[in-house]
Amino acid sequence: MVSPGEYQQQYQASVDDPERFWLDAAAAIDWDSPPSRALDDSTAPIYRWFPDATLNTCANALDRHVATGRGDQAALIYDSAMLGKQRTYTYSELLEQVALFAGVLAAHGVSKGDRVIVYLPMIPEAAIAMLACARLGAVHSVVFGGFAAKELAARIEDAEPKLIVTASGGLEPGRTVAYLPIVAKALELAQTDSATTVLVKQRESIPGSAADYTDPAIAWIDWDEALAVAEPAVPVSVSATDPLYILYTSGTTGKPKGVVRDNGGHAVALTWSMCNIYDIGPGQVMWTASDVGWVVGHSYIVYAPLLVGATTVLYEGKPVGTPDAGAFWRVVSEHKVRALFTAPTALRAIRKVDPEAKELAKYDVSSLQTLFVAGERLDPSTYEWASTALAVPVVDHWWQTETGWPICANLRGLEPMPIKPGSPTVPVPGYQLDVLGDTGSSVGANAEGNIVLALPLPPGTLVGLWRDDDRFVRSYLSTYDGYYLTGDSGYTDDDGYVYVLGRSDDVINVAGHRLSTGGMEAVLAGHPAIAECAVIGIHDDIKGQRPSGYVVLKAGVDIEPDTLRAELVQRVRDEIGAVATFRDVTVVTALPKTRSGKILRKTMRQIVGGEDYTVPSTIEDPAVLDVLEQTIGPSA
C-alpha cells in the first residue's frame, strides 16, 4: 500500500468513523439548522446523509460569500471563444442576477420541489438558472444541448417540469443550433402537459425568440423582459435530504436514468473535494472545460467552485478550431487559471493539431498548478504528452454521473502521490472500493474484476433514480449484496492504485460523453429495412470510442448500402442528437447470439478489435463468428 501519510489517515478515519468524518466536514457549510448526525441507515440499502439538517445550497454558493466580504471578487468568468467575448460576474453581481431570476421563476409558479428543465448552451444564464432553482428549493434538470427533441422529450416526460428555461440557440463551429424548434417539438412529443411556461434567453447572435411561439397551454416568455420586472427572491430553507437536481444519464437501455442528488450531502462532499482533491480555495481560479449538461459541469463549473468562494470559468468553445489549438492555453493565461479540468479527448484533439505544443509557447501559463482529467481513462501516451508540454502534474481521476465527485484520485490538496500513468491513483476517503469476481468474492490485487463500492456511499453520491427506487436497486445494488456496482471493470495493483479498464455493460464513452448503445439500437431497429441490429463501441484515436452499427436486413430488402447508411445516420441524429457521433454502418448476414437470443456484443467488440476471444459456450451458431471475422474483423 502507499506509505502511511495524511491520505492513509484520512481514508482510514472515513472508513472507521464515517459519522465523525462527515460531521467534521459538514462544519464548512452554513446550515439553517446544523446536522446532529451524519448517516441515516434506517432505509438501507438506500441511505440518507444529514437527515435532520436544513440549508440552502444557493445561499452557501453566493450569499454567504457576499456577507463575508467577497462581494467584489470574481465569481464567474464567461469566456466565449465562439463570440470572442468575455464577461466577469462578481459574487455580488451573480447573487443579484440569481436572486432576480429566482424571482422570475417564483412569479411563474415555481416553488420548492417543482422541477425545472434547463436546456441552455454554455452561457452564464445556465449557471444562473441552476442556482436560481436551488435558491427556491426547486429541482433543476439540465439537458445537454447536443441532444435532439426526442431525448429532451423523454426527460420532460420523466421529470414533469413546471417550467423550461432555454435560449434561442447554441453555437457550434460553422453552424448555429436553434433550440426553440427543438423545445417546441419535445413539448409536442412528451406525454405530459406539466410545463406551463417556457422562458427564453434571446441571444443577439441567434435568431428566434419567445414571441415566435404562441400556444394556449404554454406561455413563452422572454428572459430579459421577465427579469426587468422581477423582485429578488430570498433563499428557501430545504432539508439536506431534499433533491437539488436530477441529471439524466445513459443506462444500458434507451430510457435514461434520472440520477437524483440531494442538497446537504452534495454541498458537504463538493466542499471537501475542493481543498483536498483539487487544492482550490477562496479567490483561486478553477476552469472546468466541460459543459453544464454533464455532471462534471454541474459539480465543477457551477457548484463546487462557488461553494468555496473560488472563481469559476465558463467557457463556450472547443479545444481546437475556436480559433486554434491554443484556445485552452489562452484561457489559462488570461484568467490565471490554477486548476484546469478537462477530458483526455480534448488533449488528444489538441495534440493532433499541435503535436509539438507550439501554441502553448505563445502563452504564459505559469498560474497553472495542476491539470485534472476525467470522463474516460487517460491513456499513457496522452499523459506523457500533456505532462511534458505543461510541466505540471497531470492527474487522472475517475468518477461517474452517479457519484457526482471523484471515486479515485490523486488528492493534490491532501497528500500528492506519485503518478502512475494509466491509473487514477487511489480511492478517495469515503469510498470503500473492492474488485469482485462473478461469484462475488474479492479477486485480490492484479486481477481484473467488477469494481464495486461498499455501502453506504459517501455524501454527495446519488440518493436514487427519480421516482424509481426499483430501478435504482436493480441497476446498482442488487448484483452484490451490500455493494454499489459501478459498471466499470478494472483492478488494483500491489500499491493499492486502481486501474479502470472500461465499462462492463453496454454503455460507451464517446469524446467523454456517456452514451447508450441500446438507445441507438432502438433507433436503428425502427428503420423499415432492418431485421436486427447491434451497436458496439469501437476504438477511436481522438474520441476514445465511437459507436459502430451492424445491421441485418429483412429478407427481400434491396437498398444501396450508402443510402441505408445515410438514412440510419440521419435517424440517430434526429432522435438522439449530433452528440452520438453515429457514422459507421455495416450490413452483416447474421449477428452472433446466445441460444436465448442475447446478442454477444462483447465477442463482436473483440472481433472488430482483433483481440483473442473464447467462443462463448452459450452461442447459438458458432459459424456466425467465422463469417464476422471475414466481414468485420481487422483484416476485412
Q: Is 258 in the site for ligand AMP (CB under 6 A)?
A: no
Residue 239 sits at the vertex; the CA angle it makes with 233 and 240, to the nearest 5 degrees, is 110
> Is 375 or 424 the residue whose CB approaches ligand COA more closely?
375
Burial class of residue 5 (count of CB atoms within 10 Å of its CB; 0-12, 13-18, 19+): exposed
Q: Which does 509 bind (CB under 5 to 8 A by kind): ligand COA, ligand AMP, none?
A: ligand AMP
Q: Which does 249 bind (CB under 5 to 8 A by kind): ligand COA, ligand AMP, none?
A: ligand AMP
How many angstroms separate the CA atoms of 409 and 429, rounded? 10
Residues 123-162 that bind ligand AMP (CB under 6 A): none
| Residue that the C-alpha cell 454558493 belongs to | 61
Indicate which single residue of 51, 146, 235, 449 sits in contact with ligand COA (rule: CB under 6 A). Answer: 146
Indicate which single residue of 51, 121, 243, 424 sits in contact with ligand AMP (rule: CB under 6 A). Answer: 424
Indicate which single residue of 103, 170, 309, 518 sits in contact with ligand COA (rule: CB under 6 A). Answer: 170
* Phi, psi at 470, each rounded to 5°: -60, -45
> Is 18 or 251 the residue whose CB approaches ligand AMP more closely?
251
| Helix, strand, coil shares, percent, the chain, to 5 | 35, 25, 40
How many angstroms separate the CA atoms of 153 and 168, rounded? 18
Q: Is 51 in the site for ligand COA (CB under 6 A)?
A: no
Q: Is 511 in the site for ligand COA (CB under 6 A)?
A: yes
How many angstroms separate the CA atoms of 199 and 152, rounded? 16
Q: Which does 21 bind (CB under 5 to 8 A by kind): ligand AMP, ligand COA, none?
A: none
Q: Which does 257 bind (CB under 5 to 8 A by kind): ligand COA, ligand AMP, none?
A: none
Q: Which does 146 bind (CB under 5 to 8 A by kind): ligand COA, ligand AMP, none?
A: ligand COA
CB 404 within 8 A of CB 460: yes
Q: Is 443 in the site for ligand COA (CB under 6 A)?
A: no
Indicate which single residue of 149, 368, 572, 579 sits in contact with ligand COA (rule: CB under 6 A). Answer: 579
How many angstroms separate the CA atoms of 341 and 110, rounded? 33
Residues 495-534 that bind ligand AMP (CB under 6 A): 500, 503, 509, 514
Minimal distance, residue 341 CB to ligand AMP, in Å: 11
Minimal distance, residue 489 CB to ligand AMP, in Å: 9
> Is 273 or 603 the residue whose CB approaches ligand COA more closely?
273
Q: Which does 343 bind (CB under 5 to 8 A by kind): ligand AMP, ligand COA, none?
A: ligand COA
User: Which of the stretches 10-18, 169-177, 199-207, 495-503 binds ligand COA when contact is defined by CB under 6 A?
Assistant: 169-177
CB 97 within 8 A of CB 228: no
Q: Is 339 in the site for ligand COA (CB under 6 A)?
A: no
Indicate which single residue of 295, 320, 339, 453 sits in contact with ligand AMP (rule: CB under 6 A). Answer: 295
Per-residue binding string, ligand AMP, 204-233, x by CB under 6 A, is ------------------------------
Question: Per the structure block, which three cell numbers stand in for 211?
Answer: 414571441
How many angstroms separate the CA atoms of 161 and 196, rounded? 9
Closest to 423 measured CA to CA, from 500, 346, 512? 500
- Residues forming beta bridges with residue 395, ordered by sequence position: 372
Per-residue binding string, ligand AMP, 431-470, x by CB under 6 A, is ----------------------------------------
Q: Which of 597-624 are b and which e, b meaning 16 or more Cβ less than 10 Å from the residue's Cβ?
A: eebbbebbbbbbeeeeeeebeebbeeeb
How many angstroms separate the CA atoms of 327 and 345, rounded? 15
Minimal distance, residue 260 CB to ligand AMP, in Å: 14
Q: Is 242 in the site for ligand AMP (CB under 6 A)?
A: no
Question: Per the structure block, which three cell numbers stand in for 297?
Answer: 459541469
Indicate which single residue of 487, 519, 537, 577 sits in contact with ligand AMP (rule: CB under 6 A). Answer: 487
Q: Is 322 in the site for ligand COA (CB under 6 A)?
A: no
Q: Which does 417 bind (CB under 5 to 8 A by kind): ligand AMP, ligand COA, none?
A: none
Question: Per the structure block, which three cell numbers stand in for 172?
Answer: 457550434
Q: Which does 401 bind (CB under 5 to 8 A by kind): ligand COA, ligand AMP, none?
A: ligand AMP
Q: Which does 503 bind (CB under 5 to 8 A by kind): ligand AMP, ligand COA, none?
A: ligand AMP
Q: Residue 169: CB partners within 8 Å, gap ≥ 6? A: 121, 176, 177, 178, 179, 180, 203, 206, 208
Per-residue binding string, ligand COA, 279-308, x by CB under 6 A, is ----------xxx--x-x------------
Q: Residue 492: CB partners within 8 Å, gap ≥ 6? A: 433, 435, 445, 446, 498, 499
Q: Residue 482: CB partners within 8 Å, gap ≥ 6? A: 45, 454, 455
Indicate which single residue of 13, 83, 177, 357 sits in contact with ligand COA (rule: CB under 6 A). Answer: 177
Q: Residue 491: CB partners within 8 Å, gap ≥ 6? A: 435, 443, 445, 446, 447, 448, 449, 498, 499, 501
User: Which of the stretches 39-47, 64-72, 160-168, 373-381 binds ligand AMP when contact is defined by CB under 6 A?
Assistant: 373-381
Q: Is 374 in the site for ligand AMP (CB under 6 A)?
A: yes
DSSP-assigned letters across all residues of 87-128 = EEEEHHHHHHHHHHHHHHHHHTT--TT-EEEEE--SSHHHHH
Closest to 526 measured CA to CA, from 558, 554, 507, 546? 554
Indicate which single residue of 258, 319, 429, 458 sits in contact with ligand COA (rule: CB under 6 A). Answer: 319
Q: Is 261 in the site for ligand AMP (CB under 6 A)?
A: no
Residue 27 sits at the vertex; the CA angle it makes with 22 and 30, to the nearest 5 degrees, is 125
Question: Per the structure block, which three cell numbers stand in for 250?
Answer: 445513459
Q: Is 401 in the site for ligand AMP (CB under 6 A)?
A: yes
Minimal distance, residue 180 CB to ligand COA, in Å: 14
Q: Is 398 in the site for ligand AMP (CB under 6 A)?
A: yes
**Parallel, antiparallel, or unpaired: how do β-strands 544-553 and 530-540 relate?**
antiparallel
Residues engaged in binding ligand AMP (CB under 6 A): 249, 295, 374-377, 396-401, 424, 487-488, 500, 503, 509, 514
Residues that bind ligand COA (CB under 6 A): 145-146, 170, 172, 177, 289-291, 294, 296, 318-320, 342-343, 345-346, 349, 374-375, 511-513, 542, 578-579, 581
